[in-house]
Structures are given as C-alpha cells and as structure tokens.
Amino acid sequence: MTGRPEFSAQTLSVLAALCAEPSAWQHGYAIARDTGLKSGTLYPILIRLADRGLMEARWEDEQPAGRPRRHLYRLTPEGLASATAALAYAPPPVKAQARAGLSPRRRLSTQA
Amino acid sequence: MSELTRPMTALLRRSAALVPAGHREWAEAIWAEVAEVPAGWQRLGWLAGGVRLTVREAARGHRPWYPLAFVAAVAATAWSAWSGPPGDSAVEINRIDVIAIAVILAGLAWIIRRARGPVADARLARVVRTGGYAAVLALVLAKSAVERVADAPPNNLSGPAVAWTGEAVFLVVMASYAAVILAFTARHSPALPATMAVGTVTGIALGVMAYLLGPLGFPLRFAGPWPARTYDAAMALGALLALCAPVMAGRAAARRAGRSRPAGAGAGAGAGARQGAMAGLCSGTAAALAVAVLSTATIAILPYDTRLQHWAGGHIGQWTPVVGQVTPILHPRLGYVAGNSAFAAGYLIVLLLGPLAGSAFGAWGARVRPGSRRPQATRPWPAMKRLLVRGKPAT
C-alpha cells in the first residue's frame, strides 16, 4: 500500500464499522444501523468492497428459526490493511472513531 | 403501511431474479434482513433501497432491458402498421413487413451472438446497436405509413406484383443492414472501435446533410437567384462531401489500425485496407439508413401537415405537375403518390448502394498513402474481397 486509497466518506464509514470488530462477521442491517446508511447506499458499497477482494461474504451456516439466513460480512486481511491505511488519512472524526473502535453513529451518541 | 411494504417485499424478492447470477445474492441479502428492520417508513426505505439496487444491478447486466425494449418497440411498430382495411394488398404487405422484420432482427441477433459473441462491453457498441435497431424499426414504421395509402387503390398504379417485389428486396436489404450492425457491435467484431466510431459518425452526418438538401427525395427549387445559387453551391459541396467523407473515414481508420498494431507485426497494409473498407461500409450504411428514415418519415407526415405541403409545393420541382393532375381527386394522398415513387425508386436504391459505395470508397481511402496525392492501389476490390470472404482483421 504505497498511496492513499480512494474511498468515499460513506465507504470509510462502512470500513470503520467493519474495522470495529475485524474478526467478527456482521450482517447488513447492523452495518446500516452503525453507519446510518440506507440499504440503497450501503449495499453497492459492500458489493464494491467484495468485488475488490477487500471484504468477504457468506451466508449463515444454519437456518435460524423464524427468519431467513443472513448474509454476513467481514474484512479480508487485505481489506483490513486498506481500511487501516484509509482511516489513517481520513478526517479526524472517522480517524478517532476507528482508533476507538467505534462506528460513526456510536461515536456521535457518545459525544452527545 | 403494510399495504406498501408487502408488495415492495414481493417486488424485491421477484426482481432479484433479474440480477446477474454473480450479484444476485446481494439482492437476496437485503430481502433476508427485511424482518430485522422496524416496520413502517424505515422498512419501506430499506425495501426501496433494495429495489433500487436490483434495478441498478439488472441494468448493469443488461439482461432484461434490451430484449424488453426490443419487444416493446416491435409491438408498437406492429400496432401502428397493422391497421387498414382487410383485403388491401398494402395492408397485407405492412403486416408481413412487421412480422418479417421482427423475425429477422431477433433471429440474426441470435445467430450473430453465436458466431461473434454478445454485444461488446463498450458504450459505443451498445449505442450503435440500439440506435441501428431503432432506425430499422422507425424505417419500417414510416414505410408502412407511406404505403398504407400509396399502395392502396386507386394509388397503386404499378400493381401489387411490383409492390411485393419491392417488399422482398426491402426485407433482404434490411436483413443485410441488421447483420452489419450486429456483427460490427459484437464482442468479436471485425471492426476496431475507432473504425466503427469514425464510420458511424461520418455516415450520420452525411445522411443528415443529404436529408437537409432534399427532405422529400427531390432537389429543391428556389424562386430568387441568390437562394437558388446558394442551394446549387450547397448541392455541389454536398456531393463533394458525399464522395470524400467515406474516403477520409477509410483513411483515418487505416491509420488508426496501423497505430494500434503491435510493433513488428506484418501485413499492415492489408489490415489497414480492411479497416478502411469497414469504416466506409459503416459510413455508407449509417448515411443511407439516416436519410431513408428521415425522408420517409417526412413523406409519411406530409399529407397531414398543411405547412409542410405548402412548403413542398413551393420548393419541389416535380411537385407542381402532380398537384395539377391529381389534386381534385386525390389531394390527401398526393404526398403518398410522390412519396411512394421516391421511396421505391430512390431510397431503396440509396439503401442498396450506400453501403457498397461506402466500402469501396473507404477501401480506396485506406490505400491512399499519407502525404501522397496518388493512391497506392486504385482497385479496392482485393480488400473488399478479403473483407467479404474472411471478415476479420489480421490484428
């Protein structure tokens, strides 16, 4: 990673949400809740991250009772490195939130 | 609110099938989490975002839109061309026309997809293919509107046999046009993108110019000496451009092919000549199609537009005698009488000869050595023969 990665503010917020617990698998609505992004904005970002090999996705292994299986996401090692580098260049709020391991919404609520 | 969210949920689930297989799971993922989202506006927003994603991904895959648009355009053309009294040979011809064109366009797309692959993954190829198909259908639509009256009694002076012969030739010509459009815009196109671009742009410009110089297929007539001289000069310039533009397009395509050839690759002249011939073919095809569509559409609306009739009466030389002879009986149809003869005798010939002349001029232009006034080889036929037999550049 030699140069500054090109990510939009929304993508950075998604990366920050995924960076909060890099080893844990997260589902789309949880990320949407954390970032405040609508599904129509969030999922194109997730698709791009997956297409670029920065994020991996899988379906829940077992069929839970009363709801469909969720699609789960987490950063790949390359994605984690890119996200860390990108968040290091990011504006202070996102940077601070990444260090603290907080998503933007959580950070805002902490500030409030 | 549930009245809105329930159909949206169903729409999202059904529309996921339209998304290309590689990305379908993302639409299914949004659907799988609907129950997690609090009911009300928030859930509706989640669903709307999901539908937006499926539309975007489906459009990116180009799976449903082009076939759907084609079916809709053919249906609209058929609906327009179908009407007319039973037993009228003109109406029968129009109906055969629409069915045959739909079969030709769909069948050739299927055949050429197998031979040369699907449409190239480039905006230019998609625009040219969509525009070419739209132009063919528009021509069929305008032609049916003209012939509905022109080939109907008592205007069908030449008889139905001539009309059916003209129809057969028209269908063969349209099939050739569709084959050229499909082959040149396919993934394994014999033409380089630059060849198609320069040929198509040149051809459309030529077609529009020809239309402006004679919107109804006849030379215009002007009363004053200055307008008449200006028009004569414009006609002379137009004729010169019509000859030079395919030559220049062929030359530009050949030079571009030479630049894009890897260093050390041989047989550059042959490949350049082929690209030149193909640029000329694109140019002639686009020009003929453009002028035929525009002029036939103008002829079709002529009987319904009094201002256009008035203008035509004052500017078309051959118009006045026809008006004098048939106005008392056939005033509403006089546009069709003139228009049909122009179409049959003029635009079908233009459609036939345009691509042939374009490819010959383009091949000749490709042989002109840059910086030299004399052509390297004066016979375009070897390049054209190679193009017709093999149809693929050496590069």
pLDDT tens-digit readout, A74-83: 999 999 998 8
Is the pLDDT confidence value at B202 over 90? yes
Chain A interface residues (partner B, CB cutoff 8 A)? 27-29, 32, 38-44, 46-47, 57, 59, 67-71
pLDDT computed for residue B298 by the predictor = 86
Bigger pLDDT: A110 vs B284: B284
Is the pLDDT confidence value at B323 over 50? no
Least confident of A54-68, B101-115, B298-312: B298-312
Amino acid at B199: G
pLDDT computed for residue B198 by the predictor = 92
pLDDT tens-digit readout, B61-103: 665 667 778 888 888 888 877 777 666 667 788 888 888 999 9
Those residues with Cβ within 8 angstroms of residue B240's Cβ, 6 or more apart along the chain or in another chain: none
Q: Buried b / exposed e across B91-116, counting CB within 10 Å, b at 16+?
A: bbbbbebbebbbebbeebbeebeeeb
Q: Return residues 148-207 of B near A (CB < 8 Å).
A: none
Q: Which of A81-95, B3-17, B159-173, B354-368 has the highest mean pLDDT?
A: B354-368
CA distances from B82 to B67, B71, B98, B147 (A): 22, 16, 8, 12
Cβ of B53 under 8 Å from any chain A Cβ? yes
Contact list, A67 vs chain B (CB under 8 Å): 32, 35-36
Least confident of B166-175, B220-229, B354-363: B220-229
Q: What is the complex's ipTM, to 2 decimals?
A: 0.78
Q: Which of B44-53, B175-184, B215-224, B348-357 has the highest mean pLDDT?
A: B175-184
Is the pLDDT confidence value at B240 over 90? yes
pLDDT tens-digit readout, A57-102: 999 888 888 888 899 999 999 999 988 888 887 664 554 454 444 4
pLDDT computed for residue B268 by the predictor = 58
Cβ of B21 under 8 Å from any chain A Cβ? no
Cβ of B36 under 8 Å from any chain A Cβ? yes
Cross-strand pairs, A71? A59
Contact list, B49 vs chain A (CB under 8 Å): 38-43
Is the pLDDT confidence value at B237 over 60? yes
